[in-house]
């Protein structure tokens, strides 16, 4: 593919930053990739992975002369980073981010953007439960959505160029209002994470059932929650601190529905239970049909692995 930006700067090289760097270099989408991260050991890890053309602990140094700057740190660090780099951003540069929350980012960063810099907030909806530069891989964004939430007055050309960039990394791009975005992710991502963190915490706290029993017998459903509840703690702390309103609204609905379900269990209303369980199964089917999941059953390992394991277990 052809070069879309002469110089790309990534501030933060965790799972997302590392995956962007790898995808961009694999496909030759930038003439130069610079990465910045505060911690020396993370930068060293990035260097060992050969993620970039230049490395720096100083974000200012990394973003100087960059045509595209992507903030890939946890959302809570955005404001400080922005105050630091604003004076050195190149006029005409596009600034975007990979944060999971958009309303807060628009409100916080908006006033700090220098004139002549095009700010297009973004959210690549892709990830795994692993974090750090070593967790990244170039295909992370393929077939996944990237939502951009430009404000009404944003330079159209900048939005187009950024859309083309994410498209080249394999993503489908959708434009959306920042407030609506925050509601969509509250129900599809933030509340599911909160609930998963909560149930894993509850299980960790039992007296009647020991922790070792919870771990031993986790294959019946609990295990799947622990995958989600293993996501990066700082990133998720920042998500809940910055998308509070939407999360609390969706959590309220979830709790209302759970009260109804709790009553159905208490009163032994089998018809209501079966009706819900049948309806939710159909939604799963839609997600597979939409290409957002494979139909392969997940039971903690692949069939092939199971065969290799044979009966030789401990």
Site for a copy of itself in 236-255 (CB under 8 A): 236-238, 240-241, 244, 247-248, 250-251, 253-255
Nearer of residues 34 and 243 to a copy of itself, judged by Cβ = 243
Catalogue the E-assigned strands of 110-190.
Answer: 118-119, 122-124, 145-148, 172-175
Nearer of residues 86 and 230 to a copy of itself, judged by Cβ = 230
Cβ atoms of residues 23 and 139 within 8 Å: yes
217 touches a copy of itself by CB under 8 A: yes
Cβ atoms of residues 23 and 55 within 8 Å: no
Q: Kindly identify the residues of this chain, within the stretch 62-81, that bind a copy of itself according to CB under 8 A.
A: 76
Cβ atoms of residues 147 and 122 within 8 Å: yes
CA-based R_g, the chain, Å: 22
Q: Kindly identify the residues of this chain, within the stretch 162-191, that bind a copy of itself according to CB under 8 A.
A: 168, 170, 172, 174, 180, 183-185, 187-191
Cβ atoms of residues 139 and 170 within 8 Å: yes
Give me the least distance between CB of 139 and a copy of itself, in Å please.
4
Among 18, 73, 100, 149, the residue binding a copy of itself under the rule CB under 8 A is: 100
Write each residue from 139 to 158 as x if it is in contact with a copy of itself (CB under 8 A), else as -, in one continuous string: xx-xxxx-x-----------
- Sign of the four-CA dihedral 306, 311, 312, 314: positive
Cβ atoms of residues 258 and 250 within 8 Å: no
Tokens 């969706």: give the residue.
250
Q: Kindly identify the residues of this chain, within the stretch 269-288, that bind a copy of itself according to CB under 8 A.
A: 270, 273-274, 276-281, 283-287
Give me the least distance between CB of 211 and a copy of itself, in Å please.
8
Nearer of residues 111 and 268 to a copy of itself, judged by Cβ = 268
Among 9, 77, 126, 159, the residue binding a copy of itself under the rule CB under 8 A is: 126
Among 92, 135, 149, 162, the residue binding a copy of itself under the rule CB under 8 A is: 135
How many other C-beta atoms are found inside a 10 Å radius of the C-beta of residue 50?
A: 10
- Sign of the four-CA dihedral 226, 232, 234, 240: negative
128 touches a copy of itself by CB under 8 A: yes
């Amino acid at each position: 593919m052809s070069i879309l930006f002469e110089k790309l700067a990534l501030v933060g090289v965790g799972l997302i930053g590392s995956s962007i760097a790898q995808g961009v270099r694999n496909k030759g989408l930038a003439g130069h990739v610079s990465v910045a991260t505060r911690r020396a050991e993370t930068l060293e890890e990035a260097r060992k992975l050969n993620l970039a053309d230049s490395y720096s602990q100083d974000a200012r140094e990394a973003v100087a002369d960059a045509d595209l700057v992507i903030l890939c740190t946890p959302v809570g660090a955005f404001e400080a980073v922005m105050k630091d780099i604003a004076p050195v951003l190149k006029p005409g540069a596009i600034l975007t981010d990979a944060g999971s929350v958009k309303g807060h980012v628009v409100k916080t960063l908006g006033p700090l953007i220098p004139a002549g810099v095009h700010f297009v907030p973004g959210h690549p909806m892709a990830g795994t439960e692993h974090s750090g530069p070593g967790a990244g891989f170039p295909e992370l964004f393929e077939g996944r959505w990237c939502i951009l939430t430009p404000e009404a007055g944003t330079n159209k050309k900048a939005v187009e160029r950024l859309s083309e960039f994410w498209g080249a990394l394999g993503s489908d791009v959708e434009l959306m209002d920042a407030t609506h975005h925050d509601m969509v992710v509250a129900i599809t991502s933030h509340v599911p994470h909160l609930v998963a963190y909560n149930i894993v915490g509850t299980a960790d706290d039992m007296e009647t059932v020991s922790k070792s029993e919870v771990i031993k017998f986790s294959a019946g459903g609990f295990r799947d929650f622990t995958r989600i509840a293993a996501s990066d703690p700082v990133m998720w702390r920042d998500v809940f601190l910055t998308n509070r309103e939407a999360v609390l609204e969706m959590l309220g609905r979830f709790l209302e529905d759970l009260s109804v379900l709790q009553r159905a269990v208490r009163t032994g209303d089998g018809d209501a239970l079966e009706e819900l369980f049948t309806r939710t199964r159909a939604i799963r089917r839609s997600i597979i049909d939409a290409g957002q999941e494979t139909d392969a059953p997940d039971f903690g390992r692949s069939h092939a692995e199971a065969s290799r394991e044979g009966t030789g277990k401990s």
